[in-house]
């Protein structure tokens, strides 16, 4: 169970995250939406302890993870793995080693220097890649893969940590619609099959509606919507994004073009 209680993060005089509270029971798939600067990334970084909160508590199964220090804070970080828009892989390193890097902090410097991995870890990494449908890519350099494949490698690296929670910061923002769907399907599968909570910052409404059990809308650091995908009407979305009646949902869509639109580029669709 996740309990976020009155969490605030100030940058100077500005509250990037402003008195945010919500509770999630069980391993839900939670989407956070909102326009640029709403505080979505800051919130995920607070949860993962990449930055400190100015006030508030985040309790996971009763423990306030914002109060953890030193090794306990690092242990928490491996319990809530992070996935980023730009994948954050080591481009020249092979895919299998990138996945193994998910458990880098559990190894000695000497083992790391000589790239020595226990066989059990290597097998686990290959198993995870197999599960995500990219095991044949294991010996290739990460930079040789498509964006969608690279994001799946990043998900595999996260799974190597065996996390309770996966935090995904705009995981499909750099991907074309087809790859975006594969990556979102992968995250949803992990959520449902492994019962790991996923909290994903999403920049498109249709993705939030399609994949999430729960959607949280942020605006200027505050929660302005917290509900189910079917409660996320166009007028509610307009409120979250702070847009007027010219607000066009299609401009926040990543749906895959079909039939009559198949010849048009994705950019054309976004602009239409
Ligand atoms: N390190 C920082 N120093 C100062 N201000 C910051 C810092 N990080 C974020 N902010 C500010 O906090 C606010 C929230 O930023 P944040 O990146 O969390 O928004 P976001 O909703 O994730 O936006 P985006 O979708 O563009 O990433 C913004 O006004 C931003 O300028």
Interface predicted TM-score (ipTM):
0.95
Q: What is the CATH number of the domain that holds 226?
A: 3.40.50.300
Residue nearest to atom 5 of ligand 1 (CA): 11
Question: What spacing in Å lies between the alpha carbon of 126 and ligand 1's midpoint?
Answer: 36
What gap in Å lies between CA 172 and CA 84, rounded to an integer? 9
Residue 62, domain member (yes or no): yes
Q: How many domains does one find in the chain?
A: 1
CB of 37 within 6 A of ligand 1: the answer is: yes
CB of 13 within 6 A of ligand 1: the answer is: no
Q: Tell me: pLDDT of 256 over 70.
A: no
SS3 48: coil
pLDDT in tens, 17-55: 999 999 999 999 999 999 999 999 999 999 999 999 999
Whole domain around residue 177: which residue ranges?
2-87+163-271
Instruction: Say what the pTM is.
Output: 0.89
Pocket test for ligand 1, best of 15, 35, 38, 84 (most atoms within 8 A of CB): 38
- Decide if 194 contacts 29 (C-beta within 8 A): no
**Which of 10-14, 106-110, 236-240, 260-264 is least confident?**
260-264
- Decide if 272 contacts 250 (C-beta within 8 A): yes
Residue 135, domain member (yes or no): no
Residue 60, domain member (yes or no): yes
């Amino acid at each position: 169970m996740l309990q976020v209680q009155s969490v605030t993060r100030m940058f100077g005089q500005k509250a990037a995250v402003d008195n945010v509270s919500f509770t999630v029971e069980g391993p839900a798939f939670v989407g956070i939406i909102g326009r640029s600067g709403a505080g979505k990334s800051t919130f995920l970084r607070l949860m993962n302890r990449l930055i400190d909160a100015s006030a508030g508590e985040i309790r996971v199964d009763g423990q306030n993870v914002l109060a953890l220090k030193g090794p306990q804070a690092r242990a928490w970080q491996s319990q809530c793995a992070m996935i980023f828009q730009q994948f954050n892989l080591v481009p020249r390193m092979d895919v299998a080693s990138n996945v193994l890097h998910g458990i880098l902090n559990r190894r000695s410097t000497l083992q790391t220097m000589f790239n020595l991995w226990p066989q059990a870890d290597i097998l686990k990494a290959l198993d995870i890649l197999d599960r995500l449908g990219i095991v044949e890519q294991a010996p290739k350099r990460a930079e040789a893969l498509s964006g969608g494949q690279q994001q799946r490698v990043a998900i595999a690296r996260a799974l190597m940590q065996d996390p309770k929670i996966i935090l995904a910061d705009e995981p499909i923002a750099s991907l074309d619609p087809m790859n975006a769907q594969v990556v979102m399907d992968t995250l949803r599968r992990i959520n449902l099959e492994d019962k790991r909570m996923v909290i994903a910052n999403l920049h498109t409404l249709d993705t939030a509606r399609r994949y999430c059990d729960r959607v949280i809308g942020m605006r200027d650091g505050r929660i302005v919507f917290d509900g189910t995908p079917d409660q996320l009407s166009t007028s509610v979305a307009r409120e979250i994004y702070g847009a007027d009646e010219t607000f066009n949902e299609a401009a926040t869509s990543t749906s895959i073009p079909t039939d009559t639109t198949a010849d048009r580029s994705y950019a054309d669709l976004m602009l239409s």
